[in-house]
Amino acid sequence: MAQNRGSRLAAAILAAIVLLVLVWVGFFRPGAPAAAPAPPPASAAPASPGASASAIALKGVVRNEATREPVEAARIRIYAHGSPSLVVEKTTGKDGMFEAEAPPAYRYAVSAEADGFRSWQDDSLVITRPSYGLEILLTPALTLRGRVVGPQDLGISDALVRLRRSGGGPPGFYTTNTDAKGNFSLSDIPREGQYQVDAHHPGFEPAAATNVAVPSESEITIRMLPGRGSGSLAGTVSDVSGKPVAAAVISLFDSRNRAISETRTDQQGRYRFAPLADGQYYAVRCSADGFLDTSDNQGAVAIYANMETRLDFRLDPGMQIKGNVVNQKGQPVLQALLVFATEDRQRSRSPQVTNTDDEGRFQISGLRDTVYRVTVSQRDYLELVTRLQPSGSPQTLVLDPGLTLQGTISDTRGSPVERFSLLFQSTTSRTVKSFNLTTTDGKFEIRGLARDEYQVRLVAPGAVFTGPLSMQNSAEVLAVLDFSAGARGERGGRGGRFENNLNLIKVK
């Protein structure tokens, strides 16, 4: 009898292995679930920040979420985590596949765009192996196309087009500008329905198309009538020494303080708006990175037909704070986010932000001579809050690595859960820290946790799991997720998914 039980157990294990191999091999086949690359040898250790010496091989497929068909010509962009710098850009082929090599890093931000689909983005893709696969599902977008024209059906370029739901809703919630021929396209419209489309241009009377059905198989046309006459506004932007400021943002507002147009200065610091309606008053605002935002950066003008009104701006660079961000070992912390907020409520402005470079250095200009509350964050470290005042001396900010949580997530069959997200909510401070994870073996490593009591929320495809976790020291945990129908708890949470108990078993 014992021999029979052993035979049945061996047969069951063999069947499970065959099933897993079939699923694995078919993962990237068009029209079927995508196949992850073969796992690395058993001797390979999970990658950690700064530990990998070779490039990361990224392979993936982009599919239509509704039909599961591959999406051709999707644009894949990969960034270093927390950095605006593009690492690599690829385009999918007819089979929806893409391959890329990225320099070694622990986390990446990945985005995908394709015509006719909503954009997709994962801001914290965790790499645990030097080669892995990724399936991206794009949701078909509702799109409205049309044209804005003037007399004789000539297209009006750079007209501001705004979309709002009929019967109310915030105007300008979806906006775009017409191209050189007056064409426009409004994408990522979230739901079907009746909409109103407004068109604005400084040289024309406002116009609108009402009761526009979305989706619509045909393009709409909005006709605008010229204003009572037209003039123009032009000027230059320079610093206090007279040097031109390129790429300064010039915003134009009507008499009701509604933004109607925006442009940037050229390499010589010049800007121009034309045509503008005769007899109208406009407010003008100027802003540029690295310069103070003061009342001198604003102005008001009146426009007259057949005349060009000039308005120049001279920007003050203010003061600066510079320095570097390091860990407790003195090593530079790359791509740390620094937010500078003034504590002077009477002179409060929007916070200014910057990032550390590849050597952990930062510099921010356009500051006042006052005390700033500086928040420094980097995913693998505890958040630092300090106060700094502009001075000529470099500042050194030290980040605490906090605690590390390692673990393995699998299902009841022992198969690794390859894609999931973890959200840690402190039960004392109510702060939240979240991570989106992609692995090939269910293993993960999270850094920068504080000593605290947490409520952990794990979101996996088709189910949500919640449970407590006490972190007083670095730890390793094991979690087995039961996706069977009988294990589902009460329906709830985001998207109406089932809530299940999460039991994080500490093994170290």
Written as one string, the DSSP assignment of 5-60 is: HHHHHHHHHHHHHHHHHHHHHTTBSTTSPBPPPPPPPTTPPPP-TTT--S-EEEEE
What's the CA gap between 420 and 435, in Å, rounded?
9
What's the CA gap between 251 and 298, in Å, rounded?
10
Print burial letters for 215-244: b (CB count within 10 Å at least 16), e (below 16). eeeeebebebeebebbbbbebbbbbeeeee
What's the CA gap between 476 and 359, in Å, rounded?
31
What's the CA gap between 196 and 168, in Å, rounded?
9
C-alpha dihedral sign at 125, 126, 131, 135: negative
Contact partners, residue 296, CB within 8 Å, separation at least 6: 313, 314, 315, 316
Structure tokens belonging to residue 415: 């198969």
What's the CA gap between 458 and 434, in Å, rounded?
10
pLDDT tens-digit map of 18-36? 555 444 444 433 333 333 3
Written as one string, the DSSP assignment of 371-407 is: -EEEEEE-TTS--EEEEE---SS-EEEEE---EEEEE
Q: Hey, what domains does the chain have and what are their CATH numbers? A: 1-139 (2.60.40.10), 142-223 (2.60.40.1120), 230-315 (2.60.40.10), 319-399 (2.60.40.1120), 403-506 (2.60.40.10)
The full 3-state SS of 428-482, as one line of letters, equals: CCCCEEEEEEECCCCEEEEEEECCEEEEEEEEECCEEEEEEEEECCCEEEEEEEC
pLDDT tens-digit map of 417-443? 988 989 899 998 878 888 888 888 999
Written as one string, the DSSP assignment of 293-330 is: --GGGEEEEE--TT-EEE--EEE---EEEEEEEEETTS
The tens-digit pLDDT sequence of the chain (508 residues) is 444 555 555 655 655 555 554 444 444 333 333 333 333 333 333 333 333 345 677 788 899 888 888 999 999 988 876 666 677 889 999 888 888 877 766 577 888 988 878 788 887 776 655 555 788 898 887 888 999 998 778 788 888 898 888 765 544 467 888 987 889 988 778 677 888 999 988 778 889 998 898 877 789 999 998 776 778 899 999 999 999 999 999 999 888 888 888 899 999 999 999 888 777 888 999 999 888 888 888 999 988 888 899 999 999 988 999 999 999 999 999 989 999 988 765 455 678 889 999 999 999 988 888 999 999 998 889 999 999 999 889 999 999 999 999 999 999 999 999 889 898 999 988 788 888 888 889 999 999 999 999 999 998 887 889 999 999 999 999 999 988 744 444 444 433 345 688 888 887 6
pLDDT of residue 266: 94
